Amino acid sequence: MIEFAGWALRYAPAMEEATPGLWVVDAASGSSAAWDRLVDHYSGLLWSITRSFRLSPPDAADVIQTTWLRLVEHLGRIEQPDRIGAWLATTARNECLTALRRNARATPAGSDFLEDVAASDPPPEHGLLTLERDTALWTALESLSELCRSLLRILASEPSLSYLEIGAALSMPVGSIGPSRARCLDRLRRRMVGAETGDPAPRP
């Protein structure tokens, strides 16, 4: 708890301001109100991250619950309380990857499951163009840098996040988010055009 006391003293003039860093300090000291503020403020961010990994609603809920549990376990040892958004985002992404690995090892039990899925699917020709478009889009997206992939996924998620929250999640200066978004979208567009024409993908 020493680091929290020192952090609080350094920022004593701003203690009346409602900032996530101060909520972390107060929550570590036992304030349930500060904890509630953290949960309210960052729940949207965590849901957006789980949606960017296309987890099922139950898996997404498990990831979010586990992320908050990890924060409870480490609450007294957060070295940079003012960057709690980035800490939560990193933890949530790690938990999403764990969930995806766990699901990859799971297999449906019995043929009834496959029959039910097949019966509920539309005819193969239905939505073929949409499938091809989505496949090309995801292929192009995966060819981008990790920063571009994360930024575009979070920007496309609902509910939308503020640039402050996105900056905290990705450890980016707020002023660089807009220009980075434009560059990433341009790279994604050029890769999509290259896929349609058969031209080699442009360099990142």
> Over the stretch 107-158, which tens digit does the pLDDT of each residue have?
555 544 445 444 455 554 444 555 566 667 777 888 888 888 888 888 876 5
Whether 38 contacts 27, CB under 8 Å? yes
What angle do helix axes 163-170 and 146-156 make, rounded to 10 degrees?
A: 150
Residues 6 or more apart whose Cβ sits within 8 Å of residue 85: 20, 42, 45, 165, 167, 168, 169
Predicted local confidence at residue 132, as pLDDT = 61
The pLDDT, as a whole number, for residue 11 is 45
Instruction: Decide which of 3.40.50.880, 3.20.20.10, 1.10.10.10, 3.40.50.620 is the CATH code for 133-204.
Output: 1.10.10.10
User: Where in the chain is CATH 1.10.1740?
Assistant: 2-105
pLDDT given for residue 142 in this prediction: 81
CATH number of the domain at 2-105, please? 1.10.1740
Structure letter (DSSP) for residue 110:
S
What is the spatial distance between Cα 19 and Cα 54, in angstroms, rounded to a whole number?
Answer: 30
For residue 53, what pLDDT is reported? Answer: 80
Write down the pLDDT at residue 6.
47
Look at residue 55 and give its three-state secondary structure: coil
pTM for this predicted structure: 0.54
Report the alpha-carbon distance of residue 36 to residue 40 in Å, rounded.
6
Is there a cis peptide before residue 58, judged by omega within 30 degrees of 0? no
Q: Read off the tokens for 123.
A: 């005819």
Which positions of the chain have pLDDT values less than 50?
1-16, 111-114, 116-119, 124-127, 201, 204
Distance separating alpha carbons of residues 154 and 104, to the nearest angstrom: 23
| pLDDT score recorded for residue 89 | 85
Start and end residues for every CATH 1.10.10.10 domain found in the chain: 133-204
Tokens coding 1 = 């708890």
